[in-house]
Amino acid sequence: MKQVYNFNAGPCILPRVAVEKTAQALLDLNGSGMSLIEISHRSKDFEAINSECIALWKELLSIPDGYHVLFLGGGASLQFCMLPYNLLGAKAAYVESGSWAKKAIKEAKLFGEVAVIASSSDKNYSYYPAIADIPRDADYLHITTNNTIYGTELHGSIDSPVPLVADMSSDIMSRPIDVSKYGVIYGGAQKNVGPAGVAFVIVKEALLGKVKRAIPTMLDYRTHIAEKSLFNTPPVFAVYAMCETLKWIKAQGGLQAIAALNRKKADTLYGYLDNESKMFVGTADKASRSLMNICFVMTEQYKDKEEEFLNVAKAAGMVGIKGHRSVGGFRASTYNALPLSGVQALVECMREFEKKF
């Protein structure tokens, strides 16, 4: 197979072993003579996969009692509306830290009053806004812990007087978190824990059943809690691949070990940008920089060389480093499965390019 370094922002690189195991299960699941995508989702085989996946979520994140782990369709984007459907009675507070947060705010407004209590829109979301004065009459506070597009991440924890809800699509399982500080954590799997097609929701059961509105059965978290995410036909392929990805995380030593590796990768690239490069410069405020999505551009003097560098990097096997159109330049996503050698290869490629000028 061609050797590449996959810096895609999502869908993104997954552990090779998880991809291989999934490929095998697609051909023949557990010697059953049938493909993973041909078996009944009510079969013992699939129920075992579903249960194992839930158990791995609980183990890796040390999820306390009183919380449920759900696997749902519709991506993180469906959660933008499913969440307020279930939790927003009159008012909710939101932090506007990027494009995904804006989308979540738009949906929440369909259900009640939305107080945007912090925003970094004034500087094109290049920093994580300070969160203060959380209104006590809000049903919850919604944050996006990692802003995939702008390369900013919330560092440190928030003590919220109201239930804290987080879109963790792009930094879930990248480090240990204290789940007990949250009411709901959700995200699309395709940034760090699996392929597209499944969203994860970790929800504290005590928060449910408080809103007065009727909730359609499929959009009611309680339906999926009662049915262990098997109310309707689940995305079996995506759940299987997610399960294999979590097994790999566990085999690496769990989230402490994963976090240390992620830190090392980010330090390698940010270190080069901060201390060595005269040509490339990071776009995010230093205190808010993401360990998952590293955004950088060329300085004014070299701006016209961006296209050329993209071509050189591509020839060297770097995939997916073109920046999102809202930031420009480059974005290297350094999710869990990207090895340190990938970041080192990118830095080497940048260094070589700089030498030419």
Ligand X SMILES: *Cc1c(COP(=O)(O)O)cnc(C)c1O
Give catalytic status of residue 167 as yes or no: yes
Closest CA to 272 of 290, 253, 294: 294
Q: Tell me which residues touch ligand X (CB under 6 A).
A: 10, 75-77, 100, 144, 148, 167, 169-170, 188, 191, 199
Query: Rg of the Cα trace of the chain?
Result: 21
Catalytic-labelled residue, pool 100, 171, 220, 322: 100
Candidate list 57, 139, 191, 322, residue with the active-site label: 191
Residue 20 C-beta: closest distance to ligand X, Å: 24
CB of 145 to ligand X, least distance (A): 8
Report which of 53, 25, 67 is spatially closest to residue 246, judged by C-alpha positions: 53
For residues 149 and 297, which CB has a smaller minimum distance to ligand X in the complex? 149
SS3 343: helix
What's the CA gap between 99 and 183, in Å, rounded?
22
Task: Write down the least CB distance from residue 50 to ligand X, Å.
Answer: 20
Closer to ligand X by Cβ: residue 109 or 314: 109
**Which amino acid is residue 121, in one-letter code?**
S
Q: Of the two residues 277 and 293, which places its CB atom closer to ligand X in the complex?
A: 293
Helix (H) or strand (E) holding 143: strand 141-144
DSSP for 321-340, written as a single string:
-BPPTTT-SEEEE--TTS-H
Q: Which of 21, 57, 139, 167 is catalytic?
A: 167
| Beta bridge partners of residue 93, listed in sequence order | 115, 141
Which residue number, 199 or 313, has a Cβ lying nearer to ligand X? 199
191 is catalytic: yes
16 neighbors 6 (Cβ within 8 angstroms)? no
CB of 356 to ligand X, least distance (A): 34
96 touches 144 (CB < 8 A): no
Q: How far is the CB of 130 from ligand X (least distance, A)?
A: 20
- Determine the Cα–Cα distance for residues 105 and 265; give it in Å rounded to an integer: 32
The C-alpha atoms of residue 130 and residue 124 are separated, in whole angstroms, by 15
248 in active site: no
Kindly list the catalytic residues: 100, 167, 191
